[in-house]
A and B are shown apart, each in its own frame.
Chain A
Amino acid sequence: MTLSLAFKMAIRPFGDSALLVDIDAGNTDASSDIVMALNAQLSQQCIRGITQTTPSYNSLLVSFEPERTQHPVLQTEIHAIADTINVQDIPKGNQWSIPACFDAPYALDCAALETELSQDWQSIVDCFCAAEYRVHAVGFLPGFTYLGNLPDALYCNRLRDPRATVPASSIAIAGTQAGIYPFDSPGGWRIIGRLPFTVFQTQADPPALFQANDRIRFEAVNPEVFEALEQRPIASVIKQATRR
């Protein structure tokens, strides 16, 4: 059994103090695995001059201090690390099972989606909850959680006119993606439910509950249970395990 990984990598300068690493391993999940493995190795090896890395789907943004390293040096170092990564370097991530309510008043786009997807609400919710989602990135806003693996049957368009305010902890879908809003914020994704807790708390360590490469399953609860869960500490509401 070989432990090495097959993928294509392209590194290019992105301004005077960052490099963009693009990975193509054939599909999004495989590319995401390589990005996460490379990201983990970069932080473990404490490469001189790197200030931060931003993984997202099939790319890794590597920011550095131009006073301490340079594009060509860093490119060589990243290539050297990429040559040595193997399947064991792919971070395991956490496995989450979380309750969510998909009833009114939390499912703001319930009626519109029933029409658009030609399905009744119960089957839409069942379909959504049957899938396991992969966290592909945490970003855009602090704690905004991008989820992949949305079932094809739930493909829908974004709103033509984004809402001025999407409530914090809303679960949303758009195109082939799902997402969780950390704060009240404007947004154009379709809102299908809500979590009974916040996914980003400045005083928590780390502040973002979910991290790239985690896996999430949703468990539908009724509004009475949801309201009770809202009052409870988060640790007692969610189930967490290390994967494999």
Chain B
Amino acid sequence: MKLQFVTSGLRTTTQDLGRPGHTHMGVPSGGALDRSAMRYANHLVGNALGAPVLEVTLSGPHLRCLEGGRVALIGSGFDLLLNGEPQRALLPISVNPGDELVIKSSENGCRAYLSVSGEWRAERWLGSASALRIGSHELVPGAIWIRGDILETRDRSVEPWPSTLLPPQPPSDIIRVSPGPEYEWLDEHGRAQLLSKRIRVIDPSNRVGLRTNTQVQLREDKRRVEMVSSGVQPGTVQLTHGGQAIILMRDGQTIGGYPRVLQCASQSLDQLAHLKVGDELILSLIDS
């Protein structure tokens, strides 16, 4: 299949399962923020579930088909238009040369995933095709899509196989968390300020981390403690000195010096992909 970018959208990148195993060099594992959406999109077009997909952020690209194949879009708040006609959700779409594809965001969309049938000819770094931006520096330049680029895959005529894979759940704003290593640094008051209440995502928030409008105080005796830097992961909720909770995302730092008060459940990480500035969420402690 061959698709040309007529427009790129706000930020459209290649993402796959990321590059675990390099955090000792400071390289985050990264990869598609919503793994279940990525897998299901790949499943629909007959690709390996961890094959690269396009990750769309806030506004989607306009693509022109040069060689036919199948695509599938998974992403709440986005519509896939084929020659101007909205397509049914959760189905693969056959596309022919000359067709125009537009990924259109409705009011709520933050991220969507487009799978493209066939084997990707993607630049890989440390075993992954995923884009990674550090500051203004793109570490995998071939994973960034701009106007005029051509995405080409080598056809393999694999039909989607019958599978027990279920479509991803619609995103929820309830994020399940467990206590982090410094959870005890919060007293009852601090826990009440952070847990089981609506908090808002504020700017800047991106694939590195989600900032929130929280002002949470640590226990009195912990407020001036300088921590020795220690490992963090995607989904770690750090509290800055100013009391702001930052939820680390998949391109986040690998070690940090702020108290790690909570850790999001793995299954909640996918939901974080769909939270944009202004959205609200609830951190909910898992009963143990």
Taking Cβ atoms with an 8 Å cutoff, the residues of A that contact B are 12-18, 20, 28, 39, 51-61, 63, 66, 137-144, 146, 175, 182-186, 200, 202, 206-208, 211-212
Contacts and interface: CB of A to CB of B under 8 A. Distances in A.
The 8 closest A-B pairs by CB, nearest first: A61-B231, A15-B263, A208-B25, A54-B231, A139-B255, A139-B26, A139-B254, A59-B230
A183 B26 contact: no
A22 B146 CA distance: 45
B22 interface: yes
27 contacts: A12-B181, A14-B180, A14-B181, A14-B231, A14-B233, A15-B264, A53-B24, A55-B231, A56-B228, A56-B231, A57-B228, A58-B230, A59-B228, A61-B23, A137-B229, A139-B23, A139-B24, A139-B253, A140-B26, A140-B253, A142-B25, A142-B26, A143-B26, A182-B26, A184-B137, A185-B134, A202-B140
B84 interface: no
Contacts of A139: 23-26, 229, 231, 253-255
Given A12-B181, A185-B135, A202-B139, A141 B233 contact: no
Contacts of A206: 25
Contact of B226 (A175, A184, A186): A175
Contacts of B140: 202
A16 B180 CA distance: 11
B21 interface: yes
Contacts of A63: 20, 23, 233
A55 B264 contact: no
A186 B134 CA distance: 11
Given A52-B22, A52-B29, A59-B228, 18 more contacts: A14-B181, A15-B235, A15-B236, A15-B266, A17-B266, A20-B231, A52-B20, A55-B24, A60-B231, A66-B266, A139-B25, A140-B26, A142-B27, A142-B28, A143-B25, A175-B226, A184-B136, A200-B26
Contacts of B134: 141-142, 183, 185
A59 B231 contact: yes
Interface of B: 20-29, 125-126, 134-137, 139-140, 178, 180-181, 226, 228-233, 235-236, 253-256, 260, 263-266
A48 B139 CA distance: 31
State the majority secondary structure of interface residues on B: loop
B21 A51 contact: yes
A13 B140 CA distance: 33
A54 B231 CA distance: 6
A138 B23 CA distance: 8
B21 A52 contact: yes
Contacts of B264: 15
Contacts of A57: 228-230
Contact of A186 (B23, B135, B230): B135
Given A141-B26, A207-B27, A20 B181 contact: yes
A50 to B, nearest CB: 10
A208 B23 CA distance: 11
A13 B178 contact: yes
A80 to B, nearest CB: 21
Contact of B26 (A20, A53, A60, A138): A138
A146 B228 CA distance: 11
Contacts of A56: 228-231, 255
B26 A16 contact: no
B254 A140 contact: yes
Nearest to A205: B126
A144 B24 CA distance: 11
A184 B137 CA distance: 8
Interface-central residue, B21, B24, B228, B265, by most chain A CB under 10 Å? B24
Contact of A138 (B20, B24, B136, B233): B24
A143 B150 CA distance: 32
B255 A54 contact: yes
Contacts of A143: 25-26
A36 to B, nearest CB: 10
Contact of A144 (B26, B231, B235): B26
Contacts of B126: 207
A206 B25 CA distance: 9
Given A54-B255, A183-B135, A15 B231 contact: no
A154 to B, nearest CB: 17
Contacts of B265: 15-16
